[in-house]
Amino acid sequence: MEIIFHGHSCVQLVTEGKSLLIDPFLSGNPLTAIKPEEIKTDAILLTHAHGDHILDAEPIARNNDAPVVAIVELATYMSWKGVKTVGMNMGGTFDLGFAQAKMIHAFHSSGIVLEDEQRIMYAGMPAGYIIRAEGLTILHAGDTSLFGDMKMIGERYKIDVAFVPIGGHFTMDPEDALQAAKWYGAKLTIPVHYDTFPPIRQDGSAFVKALEEQGLRGQVLAPGERIELHAQN
């Protein structure tokens, strides 16, 4: 499996010649290294409805004829945009054919700001995902605060890679993310959702160092950087 980090919380998994894209926020991200029209993918996962997670989902889905998988309210909203969707809910698993995505809790908010109407539209609960493919288990925490069930998730699943937000202000800060990483117990923890905007400036390298001091392995990925993963027997 190849993992590509596109900045902020946007992660792309390439497995068995297929691509899965999570939370595409590219055109509004000054730090990303790719344009939406350059993305090739077979499916899109959305964790929640905030603009810095769904901004480019519609054009990418349309360009690739790719389904958007999200909690049912957000999937319904995306279907009104004329793209293929799969609505699901907490605890559910959707089989993409090349990967399985299980929806897990995240503690955050989720709504779509309709500026012209000065109204916020409810868009379902926020979520994270556990993704299984090629004998590997990948966790994308979504936007979240620290919560105790992270420990249960770590006990139930042997997580190979965990993507955890560290930005603070809108999500966990590095201190809480460190506790989350301990509970998840992933073989590799990668920080996301930081540095994109002034309120979420953080030192990713310092977070990785803190992980290592706790006996955990971490890695900072720059936008556009790729890593290869292989299941271990």
Give the CATH number for residue 76: 3.60.15.10
Residue 175 binned pLDDT confidence (cut-offs 50, 70, 90): very high
d(CA 227, CA 107): 28
Distances (CA, A) of 153 to 45, 106, 137, 148, 194: 20, 12, 12, 9, 23
Q: What is the mean pLDDT of residues 195-214?
A: 98
Per-residue pLDDT reduced to its tens digit, 87-107: 999 999 999 999 999 999 999
pTM for the model: 0.97
State how far the Cα of 149 lies from the Cα of 86, in Å rounded to an integer: 26
Q: Which pLDDT belongs to residue 233?
A: 55
CA-based nearest residue to 72, from 101, 49, 95, 39: 49
SS3 155: helix
Structurally, the chain folds into a number of domains equal to 1
Specify the pLDDT at position 33: 85
Helix ranges (DSSP H) in the chain? 51-54, 57-64, 72-79, 149-156, 174-184, 204-213
With respect to residue 224, please indicate whether it lies within any of the assigned structural domains.
Answer: no
Model pLDDT for residues 9-36, shown as the tens digit of each residue: 999 999 999 999 999 999 999 999 899 9
Establish if 225 belongs to a structural domain. no
The residue behind tokens 């519609």 is 58
Residue 223 inside a domain? The answer is: no
Domain-located, residue 226: no
Q: What is the span of the domain harbouring residue 17?
A: 2-218
Residue at 62 is within a domain: yes
